[in-house]
Amino acid sequence: MNPDFWHDRWREGQIGFHQPDYHPALLRHWPRLGVPPHGRVFVPLCGRSLDMIWLARQGHGVVGVELSPIAIDGFFHHEGLTPSVTEIGRLRRHAAGHYELLEGDFFETSPAMLGHIEGWYDRAALVALPRAMRRDYVRRLDLLVPGDVPGLLITLDYPQQQMDGPPFSVTGEEVLALLDEAFEVTELESRDVLGENPRFAERGLDRLTETVFRLVRR
């Protein structure tokens, strides 16, 4: 999967992965992480997720990484903000209000670019990547997340042969195989959400399980 895939999706408005409201699992489980009220939160592959707004309303500063300038511009426009834009390495930093969104390749991101983070949130990053890229994603996450910092991971599990991703199916077993070495992994919730997502049933799925994990960097 190359960057042009995502640029094309945003340019053509094929953004069914963008949710029109806060994710209910974020609201239910974020308080269990114990992130300090004004702690800085990292959101990889953030798109223009409204979840960043909810995090900011809890008092957090939010630093996201996103490939598409269309997504970043759309987010700030939605919030009525005009960001300052500066070059930072091979990325561009868009900053306004509680938000700093880094435009560019996630795999070019360094800890210095993110600043001091005290929490992280992945609803749409791991499941956006095909299996061949997930190990590299986790290696970069290992580099970016400091020790003892907690995060919330939300995955989807379904029969992969029934639908082409993204979002891709990521099983609980794969989460453990990928992340257990560097993170303490605790499953918080797992439930069938196919009835809440009819577009996936229309694409041929007969099962869709959403699982929420608490992960703490070892």
Helix (H) or strand (E) holding 41: strand 40-44
* CB-based contact 101:113 (threshold 8 Å): no
Digit-coded pLDDT (tens) for 140-175:
999 999 999 999 999 999 999 999 999 999 999 999
Bigger pLDDT: 207 vs 2: 207
């199916």: which residue's tokens?
A: 169
Digit-coded pLDDT (tens) for 43-68:
999 999 999 999 999 999 999 999 99
Q: Determine the CATH number of domain 3-11+23-30+38-217.
A: 3.40.50.150
Domain residues of the chain, as ranges? 3-11+23-30+38-217
Alpha carbons within 13 angstroms on the beta-carbon side of residue 184 total 8
For helices 3-11 and 69-78, angle between their N-to-C axes, nearest 10 degrees:
40
DSSP strand pairing (99-103 vs 91-96): antiparallel
Whether the pLDDT of residue 20 is over 90: the answer is: no
Whole-angstrom distance, CA of residue 138 vs CA of residue 183:
10
Distance from chain centroid for Cα 159: 22
